[in-house]
Structure 1
């Protein structure tokens, strides 16, 4: 049986699915509600002893009455550890519970059901697959899925796990800014160097891309993995919670229902202030006054107030842009065009700041929420031979470092290396008759050793007895097209491949993924 391939933008707030029609034109597929975007949300509601699952638009509706049982923005948690500072800060701001899995990962709970982020993402991917299958009238088995350029190895692997659980084979994990560049410029006739600034619901990425004769070469990328529209919403909510406390003495900070109402109103106000100078918000029965009467909260918010509240977030746009330029030896004036991607780039303050950083007015994409999925669909057609003359060259977003037997971490693969890439290092035993040799692999965060992200400890075992230094191992590091690391070892004396096991790792095991895929299969 042949399967269709689709492009999916698996977003923090919303997800989009696209394809290329028979005329070679990208097409965004619509949900049963007629929408081009699907909320990246699930609800698990317990009723009469049964747990009912809702995904997408239905989950968004249920969130009004069941905020604690509705999971959203799980993309911010996928591939992350519970003890990470960003996760801990997020855990106090969400209506649902974030817990520590046995292996230290961050998991989520809706109703009485605890799930890993890849499970939640799988349900969203399954929903997007269903949108495509209703359109085609036949099975969809493969997809190109976009991820933030600044996603690390564990986040990328967790996204692939989610796809496998959903019954999708990943043809490629495609960086979102790269997809946007392809979606915007696949038919550009002239050569240009562009900066793609992607500010979505949860992350900010900036990539510098050379476009020439159908070749899209990413030469540098940087980002902020915890800067997006969700942070702007929470800033507005925090401001309003503080005002209610100051005026009425009512603490809404632990009231899940009130926080959900405030978040929905904050989003609506933020969107309205894109085109208006002020907006009125009104929330009925937000809480209870000391007299027992319901609190009806009314307020006018001006664009100026919104920009004052969120100025610290807008300020965070600048460092990734300057870092991306610096890493490829460019100045802002060396960029010929700035492309804005992601719903948050509609905000005037964001547009002004990016214009100031690059010294030119950005080009506004007509539908910034959809262009990433369009690029993914075009890449599908490229891989299937339906589009000629387009080549993508992407890069690693972080350096890779190696530490042997607890020694200092030394760089193996630099930042912005074109992928796929391969490097090797030679390591040797330090003791006579040493039967095991361990090494640790890290992704270097912001160039600071203290921020190195531990990808895992690899242990080579069953080494033959020999004097110290006589066992020489070639360790090969390969980063594939998806930006995911593979490690192999070879004993140079014999050519044998010693037993290599990975310990102290995170994420789902292969057995977990297969079990979850099997359990979800009857629902497809």
Structure 2
């Protein structure tokens, strides 16, 4: 039996990609249908079937309330987050929370945690990879946005655990793209990686020295991406339609989803055309019958709609260049990553900002997954040529102090792995416990930053205020995830805790969510298409689908193949019209 494979997974907001290194060559893993981008979408249809990937995307227009997408924007956040409130205006599925204020998604009245939705997507990616490779996939390196905070990173790791994937490492997406660019080239360069995906934006400045990839500074926005361009265009279409017909389509989930889908395609078209048509027939009913959306959008108009979004990315670029203490002329290359970099205005603005044309050395959709696969291969081999990643914190980590201030422990752009020792003292007589509220963010006031967890240390020996001491060690591991350990030097009492998301230690809502599958065995003459968690198999007539707990039940007898039908007779009217057309063509040729 073949040894289990180790792969890289780019867990994207809109699409996910898997890759592997074979014979020292990284490549993306395509499904047996030839596709390699997997929609990061989960749905449950009206019969209770779970659909994932392409199967979920195909039915989103008729089932928008029970089709879940864009969860990467929500993961690791609580229900009070301004980001969550903003998302509720654009996503039509039901967002709720548990007693700990953690975000839940309701699908067919069943609550799911965000880690569970992400686990379903990871499991689907793993299954497609297994079927393509013909062997088990047990381990993976998974990528996250560089600007993800501690809670979000831990939530992704928890998703991997639920999916029963051994996540060797979580690495930042821009760093992974730099790995793909520099792999095997023995480079000594400084790079800017501009990563503008479907839902998030990151920019990182790196120095590459052969197999050492050191991040000098990073920044970004986890709520800025291609879907925001789609939303701007959708809002324009809805506004035009309301102005023309007096009907607000925003409130109808199915209409809104149809418009968003059409606008996503229009955005893609405008990357290669000066104008495009947004045509959605029978969008709703008016007083006189069915109404259509049928508007033309010019590229210039689209660029005006979205120019400020691109401007926001350049603000982050300016900040990371200042943090890295570099000028544009110090950079050897600028890499564009993510589907949104295909928008011509994005490429022009980035080129103008950095003063050089972006490199064509990497594929914007594949680079992150390829870099993750390269890192996965290095970790699996642990031998000569091992890759070293030296990354940095995207935001300051600190603690809440008296007066509501935030006291930094690790400032923004601190390298990790890293460790800091802090000594705290008691504020009351006979105090026997100490509670630390750990924050992440760059604001001076604690309330304006994200709470990533609480750490409580009990066992302090009773003493007068200020006499007892607690030695506290803050450790950032190679993934940027924080561990806090404390001890009382007088008693020797100690405690250590990984700062997980706010609902630390909570069990998944559905313990049996993932049923592990073996790679699908292909037989001669059949095409296997893994399109959903319930596998769809296109077989030759006379064969039956492979058995399995989630395989749809096959009929007892396979119906015979369809027999060729005799051509239908041409009706006289059609025959006459055809004869007339032939006659006119003959006359034209005779004239020529």
Q: TM-score band (shorter)?
A: over 0.9
Q: Deviations over 1:388-409 (max 9, x none)?
A: 1532211111111123566632
State the 1:237 CA deviation.
0.5
Residues 165, 516 of structure 1: 8 Å contact kept? no
Distance 1:306 1:398 in 2: 33
Residues 166, 517 of structure 1: 8 Å contact kept? no
Q: 1:240 is matched with which residue?
A: 237
1:439 correspondence with 2:436 = yes
Residues 158, 508 of structure 1: 8 Å contact kept? no
Q: 2:374 aligns with which of 365, 378, 385?
A: 378
Aligned CA distance change for structure 1 residues 364 and 101 (closer, same or farther; 3 Å): farther
State the 1:170 CA deviation.
1.0
Q: Deviations over 1:93-137 (max 9, x none)?
A: 112121133211222222322211111110000001101211232
Q: 2:329 is matched with which residue?
A: 333
SS of the residue 1:427 aligns to: strand
State the 1:213 CA deviation.
2.3
1:130 correspondence with 2:131 = no
Please report the TM-score for the alignment, with normalisation by the length of structure 1: 0.94
Distance 1:256 1:78 in 2: 23
Off by >4 Å, runs of 4+ in structure 1: 404-407, 446-450, 498-502, 505-509
State the 1:303 CA deviation.
0.7
- The within-5 A match list for 1:33-72 is 33-47=33-47, 51-72=48-69
Distance 2:342 2:284 in 1: 32
Q: 1:512 is matched with which residue?
A: 507
State the 1:425 CA deviation.
0.7
Distance 1:252 1:268 in 2: 19
Distance 1:166 1:387 in 2: 31
Distance 2:283 2:28 in 1: 38
Aligned CA distance change for structure 1 residues 498 and 28 (closer, same or farther; 3 Å): closer
Distance 1:413 1:225 in 2: 20
Aligned CA distance change for structure 1 residues 129 and 482 (closer, same or farther; 3 Å): same
Gaps of 5+ in 2: 519-592
Distance 2:350 2:496 in 1: 50
Q: Deviations over 1:133-173 (max 9, x none)?
A: 11232321211000000000111011011111111111000
State the 1:438 CA deviation.
1.6
Q: 1:175 is matched with which residue?
A: 172
Distance 2:155 2:501 in 1: 10
Q: 1:476 is matched with which residue?
A: 473
Distance 1:255 1:407 in 2: 43
Q: Deviations over 1:23-46 (max 9, x none)?
A: 211111112432111000011123
Residues 118, 161 of structure 1: 8 Å contact kept? yes
Give the strand-richer structure, 1 or 2.
1
1:315 correspondence with 2:311 = yes
Q: Deviations over 1:189-225 (max 9, x none)?
A: 4421110000001111000000122221111000011
Q: 2:586 is matched with which residue?
A: none
Distance 1:96 1:482 in 2: 32
Aligned Cα RMSD in Å?
2.0
Q: 2:8 is matched with which residue?
A: 7
1:26 correspondence with 2:23 = no
- The within-5 A match list for 1:44-443 is 44-47=44-47, 51-291=48-288, 293-385=289-381, 388=385, 390-404=387-401, 408-443=405-440
Distance 2:426 2:404 in 1: 13
Aligned CA distance change for structure 1 residues 509 and 427 (closer, same or farther; 3 Å): closer
Gaps of 5+ in 1: none
1:521 correspondence with 2:515 = yes
The structure with the larger Rg is 2
Residues 419, 481 of structure 1: 8 Å contact kept? yes
Q: Deviations over 1:246-297 (max 9, x none)?
A: 0111110111111111111111111111111111221111111122x11112
Q: How many residues align?
A: 516
Aligned CA distance change for structure 1 residues 523 and 103 (closer, same or farther; 3 Å): farther
State the 1:81 CA deviation.
1.5
Distance 2:92 2:81 in 1: 19
State the 1:79 CA deviation.
0.6
Residues 31, 37 of structure 1: 8 Å contact kept? no
Residues 278, 295 of structure 2: 8 Å contact kept? yes
Residues 491, 498 of structure 1: 8 Å contact kept? no
Aligned CA distance change for structure 1 residues 186 and 231 (closer, same or farther; 3 Å): same
Distance 1:454 1:274 in 2: 40
Which shows bigger deviation, 250-259 or 493-502? 493-502
Please report the TM-score for the alignment, with normalisation by the length of structure 2: 0.83
SS of the residue 1:460 aligns to: strand
Distance 1:203 1:360 in 2: 24
State the 1:70 CA deviation.
0.5
State the 1:243 CA deviation.
0.6
1:17 correspondence with 2:11 = no
Which shows bigger deviation, 263-272 or 174-183? 263-272
Residues 406, 439 of structure 1: 8 Å contact kept? no
Residues 405, 437 of structure 1: 8 Å contact kept? no
Q: Deviations over 1:287-327 (max 9, x none)?
A: 11122x11112111111111011112111111110111111
Residues 459, 488 of structure 2: 8 Å contact kept? no
